[in-house]
Amino acid sequence: MANQTLDLSDELYRYLLSVGVREPDVLMELREATEAEEMSMMRSAPEQGQFMALLLKLMGASHVLEIGTFTGYATLWMALALPRDGKLVTCDVSERWTFIAHRFWEQAGVQGRIHLHLRPAIETLDELLELGGAASFDFAFIDADKENYGTYFEACLQLVRPGGMIAVDNTLWGGRVVDDANREASTEAIRAFNRKLIDDPRFDLCMLPVADGLTLVLKNHV
């Protein structure tokens, strides 16, 4: 197990952030505003936001779908990585958290690229499909209620183009996935989701130990 991913100490993690992440000021301010709130652990990590932004640039992505906006931190990383005419559809049900998001999206000058749908994500995903949105997105990021991951994923797999990517957050779930005593609905949902994905031939898959576990799925060309 000599080459297994490092267990990062706080010191090593701070080092990684100091020499490995270029976080724009507006994102740092949004992160600080989020940290002042309860539930701030739901915010994505800076190294993860930067990684997804890099993926979007690598893919030349212009259409992105996000399930779970929260305070819009990952949203903003991704929106900043899009071309001027790019479009990001983001779904959430919380007026309180997304209210914080708007201020920083505006400050970053990318609010025109971001389309927030404030209602259950399943309704937005169904509507996108009904309006002919299948295969119209380059990238989707799923980071919302864990019990619905399977449903979100199936919809995203239709909405993302062949050769497009889906990133799924929290797939290591704080390590609770390997705690047999943990029978919480969210933990069971993540376990079932991970188990289902590994056996599915419709895409390539790569689970990364970034932040709380990030699973990348590359939709096959047919």
Instruction: Return the residue of 89, 143, 152, 217 that touches Ca ion, per CB under 5 A.
Output: 143
CB of residue 109 to Ca ion, shortest distance in Å: 25
C-alpha span between 146 and 55 (Å, rounded): 24
What are the Cα distances from residue 43, in Å, to 36, 112, 199, 218? 11, 22, 30, 24
Number of residues that make up the chain = 222
Place of tokens 């898959």: 205
| Measured distance CA(111)–CA(104) in Å, rounded | 9
Work out whether 66 is an interface residue with Ca ion (CB under 5 A): no
- Smaller CB distance to Ca ion: residue 92 or 169? 169
124 vs 215, which CB is nearer to Ca ion?
Answer: 215
Please enumerate in sequence order all residues whose Cβ is within 8 A of that of 146, keeping only pairs 6 or more positions apart, or say none: 170, 173, 185, 186, 187, 189, 190, 193
CA-closest candidate to residue 135, choices 167, 151, 158: 158
Nearest distance from C-beta of residue 88 to Ca ion, angstroms: 17
Question: Of 90-98, 134-142, 143-151, 159-167, which part binds Ca ion (CB under 5 A)?
Answer: 143-151
Q: How far apart are CA 49 and CA 43, in angstroms?
A: 10
Among 2-10, 14-22, 139-147, 195-203, the segment contacting Ca ion (CB under 5 A): 139-147
> Considering the rule CB under 5 A, would residue 170 count as an interface residue with Ca ion?
yes
CB of 211 to Ca ion, least distance (A): 8
65 vs 136, which CB is nearer to Ca ion?
65
Binder to Ca ion among 80, 169, 171, 197 (CB under 5 A)?
169
Report which residue's Cβ sits closest to Ca ion: 169
- Could you give the C-alpha distances from 57 to 54, 64, 185, in angstroms and in order? 5, 12, 36
Q: Pick the piece of the chain touching Ca ion (CB under 5 A) from 1-9, 75-83, 140-148, 175-183.
A: 140-148
Residues that bind Ca ion (CB under 5 A): 143, 169-170
